[in-house]
A and B are shown apart, each in its own frame.
Chain A
């Protein structure tokens, strides 16, 4: 039996990103614990190459492909109590009200290998299931689109069946990094083996899915385009998907023994999603501060003109980062501070169209001599050369770049989203008395952003002060070892 079974959805070891780094560091730094990993992906062909090494203390690695429906056709030969199917209807009615309490009963009846009354084939083909489907259709108040309803039914419930019918390795502790399917698996594990379940969420899974689904083209909306654009009504099918993920969220929150997230804003969202505030703690992202103090002079790319100010923007060139607002603010900055140089660091290929638009806007604003799109670079070499780092994102979790800039003593101008307020102004009282390490601005406001940049560039004293506070704050509260210790403590408590 392994110590910890980590359930991951679309992250480590295949996808690069904040969560993956966190998982990798966690496993690497706890060599005395044995891990088994359950990796969930949409389908077999979406998994490609390893982006991270696999440490030796990962003893088991299983993959589940949610949308590869390789179910067995096996059906039970025993007579099924018709009452069971009534309970399914009851379960759906409760689920619609956000009540997850009947889930354990469903799991015992239909999936738990020790107690189940049916086989998976029964759930796929039985007439009773069809009758339930019809009843749900009628209760949904739909008048049209039966075939869409049918396919959505399959694509919503089959991945769930897949998760619940997959074998679960024994472990002393189950840990998922998000709610959703991974959370569902962990809940099943907890119900099956009565072992503790820890949920450490970075971003709020349900929220992220909600955004994905609202934008998804493949789910029919049934309502007029204008309504969809105005986000008034996502339409029956999108609402169905969203509430399914909301249900999975509540389910994880209800069964988790301990919940954590990276900053206070997310904690509030978890509580809104049904989490018990008593169970939640905050474990931030952490960084290796030393790594940034080791960067030597000659590794740093030189400024064109040593006298000029260098403004940095680090992040993917995608709409959510609102690069256009940043470009517009630079136009204003340029009118007040003549000697500037702007570097945009981050992959541009994710949304080519948006990138083209940004390049075009740069030219239109006459900034092409000032602004440079560097694409993907190892940004740690650049921090120490920056005079200010700017973030104009519409949405953020706890951006690592702010921590990294802080470690290098670079002041930050950032929109007030996600954890940015905590990161720049401090979270706890102890943290707040350190002072401010940057300036917060409103969303999509080139003027405010520009004003803040100008303020920092023109006031050398302020710039120095902000940088020093940032350094202090990061080394006090966001040291990676400290953060890992918190995970370790949490594990120790439940192992």
Chain B
């Protein structure tokens, strides 16, 4: 009797686990780099350009830069993780040839979309046309830089990125100061935009050097928006959470309306931006740690799965992984809490140093505390994503976002003495939730790694694992 001749050849050999191991190094960490340079650059400009700019002009200048950050980052949030995922897949499949073309196509979309947003944004104000034009250019440049950063972070070429930003920041500062001498605020903005364009040009050149240009059209990157819409939401909610309270304060708080939709929030915003600077050491340490001990331990787990280790061994490796996480997190938390504590104690002096009013003191101190918690939320969120907990990351960022918005609205109602508590409580809630979710995620890690493997037939399974590779080989040959 013929019976049913099933063959599951290759089924047990194919490699799907490493496919899961996407380098989840997200822009949230990466973008903190350029962010720092830009803030420093802003401070320098403010310090020196004040000689040539009136106080009002300096306010307008910082407000525009702040808006540029907020809006470009909000949209960046929608792209960040989806594109990271796309790049991880392409690099895993060794299809790096499509990357530059993909970059160009998505850049085209970003240029078109952000130009439209920028035009709308700046048509609702009565700043001088030349200033508005320079601001639009800056907005487009910065939006593009975030995009480029996603592509470059895949190459892990941090030194070059840092150099490019340093060069850009210097050019921005020098040109802004120099141009403001003769052209006032428009000149300052043009100088700033010029520096940012330098960064953009350098980074694009780098992508080109890294991946090369192969002229064929691929719209595959857009299909990732359908496949991984959850990642888009995570990014959007995360950036929404980061900016939600600030934006609410522009429109509903005691901010000064400059023109159109542009408000200068000298109180809440100013205090919080300053407190965000305390994030830098923690993020830097985290980035370094994640690249070393944790990432290696994490990869060891998947290697153990592929090397057909026993379940006990997998559990042991997971324990080790958690251990290494704890070990690297402990000094970070100790250091960061010490730093935050010092900043809270010396807050009056810090405000003095940055020439900010002492009435910001309470908000600034609450901000430092909130930022401390937020750093932890961000880091735990990234680890949850490392462990493939996409659903949990959505929940976390949604709670982060909605509590921030709701509590900020409440504190706005309650009045000045309560400013900053919304942000702090939202950070605290998110912190607790992140801790619970992370523990749950680690506990469920083996379960999810295996049980969420796509359910495919043995023969289809083989095709899925090989098809993109074969396509790549065809391209190599042609």
Contact = CB atoms under 8 A, between A and B. Distances in A.
On whether the two chains bind one another, the answer is yes
A125 B452 contact: yes
Contact of A147 (B9, B306, B452): B306
Nearest to A18: B1
Interface in B425-478: 444, 446-447, 450-453, 455-460
A373 interface: no
Interface string A24-54: 0000000000000000111101100000000
A460 B310 CA distance: 69
Given A43-B457, A68-B457, A146 B309 contact: yes
Interface residues of B, number: 35
Contact of B2 (A11, A67, A144, A145): A11
Contact of A146 (B9, B308, B447, B451): B308
Interface residues of A, number: 56
A19 B1 CA distance: 6
A146 B312 CA distance: 9
A423 B306 CA distance: 53
Nearest to A209: B3
B124 to A, nearest CB: 46
A390 B453 CA distance: 53
Contacts of A290: none
B457 A67 contact: yes
A347 interface: no
B451 A129 contact: yes
Contacts of B447: 127, 130
B3 A158 contact: no
A127 B444 contact: yes
A240 interface: no
A205 B1 CA distance: 8
Nearest to A68: B457
Interface string A108-145: 00000000000000001101011000100110001111
A178 B1 contact: yes
A18 B2 CA distance: 9
B167 interface: no
A247 to B, nearest CB: 17
Interface stretch (A76-84, A149-157, A167-175, A187-195): A149-157
Contacts of A180: 3-4
B207 interface: no
B459 A134 contact: no
A202 interface: yes
B314 to A, nearest CB: 6
A10 interface: yes
B459 A45 contact: yes
Contact of A9 (B4, B453, B458): B4
B447 to A, nearest CB: 5
Contact of B311 (A41, A68, A146): A146
Given A158-B455, A218-B11, A148 B308 contact: yes
B4 A40 contact: yes
Looking at B1, B306, B309, the one whose CB has the most chain A CB atoms below 10 A away is: B1
A474 interface: no
B452 A42 contact: no
A217 interface: yes
A97 B4 CA distance: 26
B4 A125 contact: no
B2 A15 contact: yes
B93 interface: no
A335 interface: no
Contacts of A40: 4
Given A218-B10, A218-B11, A42 B5 contact: yes
Contacts of A143: 310, 312
Nearest to A129: B451
Given A19-B1, A148-B12, A67 B450 contact: no
B8 A218 contact: yes
A468 B213 CA distance: 84
A11 B308 contact: no
Interface string B98-113: 0000000000000000
A147 B458 contact: no
B388 to A, nearest CB: 14
B1 A42 contact: no
B217 interface: no
B465 to A, nearest CB: 13
A42 B455 contact: no
Contacts of B8: 67, 155, 218-219
B305 interface: yes
Contacts of B353: none
A69 interface: yes
B354 interface: no
Contacts of A9: 3-4
B453 to A, nearest CB: 8
B9 A178 contact: no
User: Which among A147, A154, A158 has the highest number of chain B CB atoms within 10 Å?
Assistant: A147
A111 B5 CA distance: 26
Nearest to A42: B6
Contact of A69 (B9, B306, B456): B456
B355 interface: no
Nearest to A159: B6
A397 B311 contact: no
A134 B311 contact: yes
Given A125-B452, A146-B305, A148-B308, A10 B459 contact: no
Contacts of A326: none
Contact of A67 (B3, B306, B458): B458
Contact of B5 (A10, A129, A202): A10
B7 interface: yes
Contacts of A178: 1, 3
A66 interface: yes
Contacts of A18: 1
B1 A11 contact: yes
Contact of B1 (A43, A130, A208): A208
Contacts of B308: 144-148, 220
Contacts of B1: 11, 17-19, 178, 202-203, 205, 208, 397
Interface string A242-274: 000000000000000000000000000000000
Contacts of A85: none
Nearest to A40: B4
Contacts of B311: 134, 137-138, 142, 146, 149
Contacts of B458: 67, 155
B339 to A, nearest CB: 40
Interface string B371-411: 00000000000000000000000000000000000000000
Given A143-B310, A218-B11, A150 B450 contact: yes
A148 B310 CA distance: 10
A252 to B, nearest CB: 14
A225 B309 CA distance: 20
Interface centre among A129, A145, A181 (most CB of B within 10 A): A145
A11 B5 CA distance: 11
Contacts of A20: 2
Contacts of B313: 144, 146
Contacts of B314: 146
A152 B308 CA distance: 13
A181 B4 CA distance: 9
Contacts of A147: 12, 17, 305-306, 308, 450
17 contacts: A10-B3, A11-B2, A42-B7, A45-B459, A124-B451, A127-B447, A138-B311, A142-B311, A145-B310, A146-B311, A150-B450, A158-B455, A205-B3, A208-B3, A216-B7, A218-B8, A218-B10
Given A18-B1, A142-B311, A158-B455, 20 more contacts: A10-B4, A15-B2, A17-B1, A17-B2, A40-B4, A43-B460, A66-B6, A67-B8, A67-B457, A67-B459, A124-B451, A127-B444, A127-B447, A130-B447, A146-B311, A149-B311, A150-B453, A155-B458, A202-B1, A217-B9
Interface of B: 1-12, 17, 305-306, 308-314, 444, 446-447, 450-453, 455-460
Query: Which 5 residue pairs across A and B have the least CB separation, nearest first?
Result: A10-B4, A42-B6, A146-B311, A144-B310, A15-B2
